[in-house]
Structure 1
C-alpha cells in the first residue's frame, strides 16, 4: 500500500467515526455496540462451551487479525479475568491498537494440561518453577518462534518505537525457557494445530480440551453484533 492510499484509508476511518459519534445519542449507541461485541467475544473466550469447561488459570493466548495475521502473543495466570477483559481493553493495550471487531482468530492454550506429556524431569521442574515463571518461559519461546509485531517493539517516552530483540532477551521468561525444551515443543505443537484449526461455518468457537479457538469476526454474522 502506497502512502497516499494509506492516508486515504486513515481519513476514511476518521470520517466514519465522526459520523458514528455525531451527537450524544450516537456516542451512547456506539459505546453500547462496542461493549456488547467485546462482552460477547470475552464470554466466548472464557465460558464453558459444550462439554468443555471454562478457561481458567494459566494460559497462553494469541490474537490474529485479517491481513496482518498474528499480532500479539501473551500469557496469563488468570485466564478467566484476562481473556474476558482482552477485547474490552480496560487493562490491556491490544484492543486500543487492533479493534476486536477485526480479530479473525484468538488462540488459547491451557498449557498446564501439557505437563503429563512432557519429560518427567521437565514436569517436575515446571512445578518447582511455579506457574508464573513457567508461563513466562513458554510465552517467551512462543514469541521468539512467531515474532508477533506488537511484541517485537516497545514504546519510548520520546514518542517513537524501539525494536525488541526477543531472541537476546534476558527476561525471566527467556532465562527459564531454556530449561523446558520438551514442554516448549509441546506448546508450539498445540499452537500450530490450533492456529490452523478450521472453525465450522456459523460457529465462533472450537474447544479441543488442550485449547480453544475463537473467531470474533463470526459474531458479525449475528444481527445484534
Structure 2
C-alpha cells in the first residue's frame, strides 16, 4: 500500500466513525444506505418504462469509473439476485465495493437472443439448459474482460490466489465451445448497453430489447 493509499484508507475510516458516531447517527446511516441500495435494486429488477420485471437467467456486470468492468456474474433468478446485488446480504460484491460508487451495471437477458442462433446451436442450448448456458457466458465474459474481482480467489490464510481462467475445467469452460454464436450475440448486446450514456432525467436507466443498464452513481 502506498502512502496515498494509506491516507485514503485512514480518511475512509475517519468518515465512517463520524457517520456511526452514536446510535442516532448509526440508524440514519443504515437508513441512507439501505434506501440507496433498495433503489438500485429496483432499477435493476423491477418493471420500468413498459419493460417487464427481470425474471429468469441473466448475465450481469458492475463497472467502476476508474476500473471499468470490475465484476461479472450470472444467475437463473434475476428478480431476486439483482435486487440483492447492491444490498449484499448474499453477495460479497457490495461488501467490497459499495454501490454508491458503481458507475454502471449491465444486465443482458441472454434467453432473448436464442432466436438469433442457428437451429443446431439453439438445440444445443436447450440440451445444456439455462444453468450451464449461463455458466458458459459467465466464463467467456470473464476470460475476455478479465474483471479484477473475478480474477482472484480467497484463500484460508487471508491471502488471494490468481485464477487461471484459461485453464479452467469448470462446467462453463468445458462447454464454452458449444455456444460460440450465443456468446457473440451476448457480447454485442453487452457492448451496446455498456456504451450507453446515462440519461439526464431522474431515472438513471436505459433499456434495450435484450436487457438494461443502470447508473447507480447518477442517483447521487
| TM-score normalized by the length of structure 1 | 0.95
Structure 1 residue aligned with 2:67: 68
Once the two structures are TM-superposed, the CA of residue 165 in structure 1 deviates from its matched residue by 1.1
Matches within 5 A, 1:1-225: 3-202=2-201, 203-220=203-220
Q: Deviations over 1:84-133 (max 9, x none)?
A: 00000000000000000001100000000110001111111101111001
Once the two structures are TM-superposed, the CA of residue 199 in structure 1 deviates from its matched residue by 2.1
Q: Within 2, Cα distance between the matches of 1:119 and 1:183?
A: 9
Structure 2 residue aligned with 1:223: none
Once the two structures are TM-superposed, the CA of residue 192 in structure 1 deviates from its matched residue by 1.2
8 Å Cα contact 1:111-1:210 kept in structure 2 = yes
Unaligned residue ranges in structure 1 (runs of 5+): 221-225
Q: Deviations over 1:168-205 (max 9, x none)?
A: 11000111111111111111111111111122213410
Q: Within 2, Cα distance between the matches of 1:121 and 1:14?
A: 55
Figure out how many residues of one structure are paired with residues of the other and give that number: 219
Once the two structures are TM-superposed, the CA of residue 18 in structure 1 deviates from its matched residue by 0.5
| TM-score normalized by the length of structure 2 | 0.98
Secondary structure of the structure 1 residue equivalent to 2:89: coil
Runs of 4+, deviation exceeding 2 Å: none
Q: Within 2, Cα distance between the matches of 1:199 and 1:176?
A: 35
What is the RMSD computed on CA atoms of the aligned residues? 0.9
Secondary structure of the structure 1 residue equivalent to 2:175: helix
